[in-house]
A and B are shown apart, each in its own frame.
Chain A
Amino acid sequence: MAEAETKSVDNASIKMIEKATSDGVNTAFDRAETRKPCPIGVDGSCCSNCGMGPCRVPPPKGKEETPEEKQRRRGICGATAETIAARNFIRMVAGGAAAHSDHGRGVAEIFLAVAKGEAPGYEIKDEQKLLQLALDWGVEIGDRSNQEIAIDIGEIALAEFGKQEGEVLFLRRAPLKRQELWRREGAAPRGIDREVVEIMHRTHIGVDQDYRNLLRQGVRCAIADGWGGSMIATELQDILFGTPAPVLGRVNLGVLSRDEVNLIIHGHDPLLSEMIVVAAQDPEMVALAKSKGASGINIAGMCCTANEILMRHGIPLAGNFLQQELALVTGAVETMVVDIQCIMQSLPDIAQCYHTKIITTSPKAKIPGAIHIQFDEHNAMESAKAIVKAAIENFPNRGNNINIPKQQTDLIAGFSHETINYLLGGLFRASYRPLNDNIINGRIRGVAGVVGCNNPRVRHDDIHTTMIRELIKNDVLVIQTGCSAMAAAKAGLMTPEAASKYAGEGLASVCQAVGIPPVLHLGSCVDNSRILIAATAMVKDGGLGDDISELPVAGAAPEWMSEKAISIGQYFVGSGVFTVFGVNWPTLGNEEVTKFLFQDFEAIYGGMWAFEPDPIKAAHLMIGHIDKKRKALGIDKARERILYDMAMRRELEAA
Chain B
Amino acid sequence: MEYEIEEKSAPGRSKVEVLGATYEKGKPKGEELGKWRQKLRDREEKLKYLQTGERYWYGQDWYGSEKRRNPA
Residues of A within 8 A of B (CB): 126-128, 131-132, 135-136, 141, 172-173, 175-177, 179, 242-243, 245-248, 414, 418-419, 421-423, 425-432, 515, 536-537, 539-546
Among A126, A175, A242, the residue within 8 A (CB) of B66 is A175
In the complex, A427→B53 CA distance in Å? 7
Give 10 CB contacts A-B under 8 Å: A128-B49, A131-B50, A245-B35, A246-B33, A421-B54, A422-B53, A426-B24, A428-B52, A537-B56, A540-B65
CB 8 Å contact bits of B1-30 with A (1 = contact, 0 = none): 100000000000000000000111001011
Chain B residue nearest to A172 (CB atoms) is: B72
Give every chain A residue within 8 A of B64 (Cβ-Cβ): 539-542
B65 touches A428 (CB 8 A): no
Chain A proximity of B30: nearest CB distance (Å): 8
**Known: A536-B56, A540-B56. Contact between A128 and B66, CB under 8 A?**
no
In the complex, A432→B46 CA distance in Å? 19
Chain B proximity of A148: nearest CB distance (Å): 13
Further 5 A-B residue pairs, CB within 8 A, beyond A542-B65, A543-B65: A128-B50, A132-B54, A135-B58, A429-B23, A431-B53
Give every chain A residue within 8 A of B34 (Cβ-Cβ): 245-247, 414
Q: How many A-B residue pairs have C-beta atoms within 8 angstroms? Tell me.
A: 98
**Known: A135-B58, A515-B27, A537-B56. Contact between A245 and B66, CB under 8 A?**
no
Chain B residue nearest to A543 (CB atoms) is: B65
Chain A residue nearest to B46 (CB atoms) is: A128
B24 touches A546 (CB 8 A): no
A127 touches B33 (CB 8 A): no
Give every chain B residue within 8 A of A132 (Cβ-Cβ): 50, 54, 58
B68 touches A176 (CB 8 A): yes
In the complex, A244→B24 CA distance in Å? 21
Give every chain B residue within 8 A of A429 (Cβ-Cβ): 22-23, 52-53
Residues of B within 8 A of A (CB): 1, 22-24, 27, 29-30, 33-37, 39-40, 43, 46-47, 49-50, 52-54, 56-58, 63-66, 68, 72
In the complex, A549→B50 CA distance in Å? 26
In the complex, A421→B53 CA distance in Å? 8
**Known: A128-B40, A246-B34. Contact between A428 and B68, CB under 8 A?**
no
Give every chain B residue within 8 A of A418 (Cβ-Cβ): 37, 54
Give every chain A residue within 8 A of B72 (Cβ-Cβ): 172, 176, 179
Give every chain B residue within 8 A of A427 (Cβ-Cβ): 1, 24, 36, 39-40, 49, 53
Chain B proximity of A579: nearest CB distance (Å): 23
In the complex, A173→B57 CA distance in Å? 7
Give every chain B residue within 8 A of A542 (Cβ-Cβ): 64-65
Give every chain B residue within 8 A of A545 (Cβ-Cβ): 65
In the complex, A179→B57 CA distance in Å? 14
In the complex, A127→B27 CA distance in Å? 26
Chain B proximity of A555: nearest CB distance (Å): 21
Give every chain B residue within 8 A of A543 (Cβ-Cβ): 65
In the complex, A371→B51 CA distance in Å? 49
**Known: A414-B34, A540-B64, A542-B64. Contact between A430 and B56, CB under 8 A?**
no
Give every chain A residue within 8 A of B35 (Cβ-Cβ): 245
In the complex, A128→B44 CA distance in Å? 10
Give every chain B residue within 8 A of A243 (Cβ-Cβ): 37
Chain A proximity of B71: nearest CB distance (Å): 10
Give every chain A residue within 8 A of B22 (Cβ-Cβ): 428-429
Give every chain A residue within 8 A of B63 (Cβ-Cβ): 540
In the complex, A537→B66 CA distance in Å? 11
Chain B residue nearest to A422 (CB atoms) is: B36
Give every chain B residue within 8 A of A414 (Cβ-Cβ): 34
Question: 10 nearest interchain CB pairs?
Answer: A542-B65, A430-B53, A540-B56, A540-B64, A245-B34, A128-B46, A428-B22, A246-B34, A246-B33, A426-B24
A426 touches B23 (CB 8 A): yes
Chain A residue nearest to B57 (CB atoms) is: A173
Most buried by A among B27, B40, B52, B57: B57
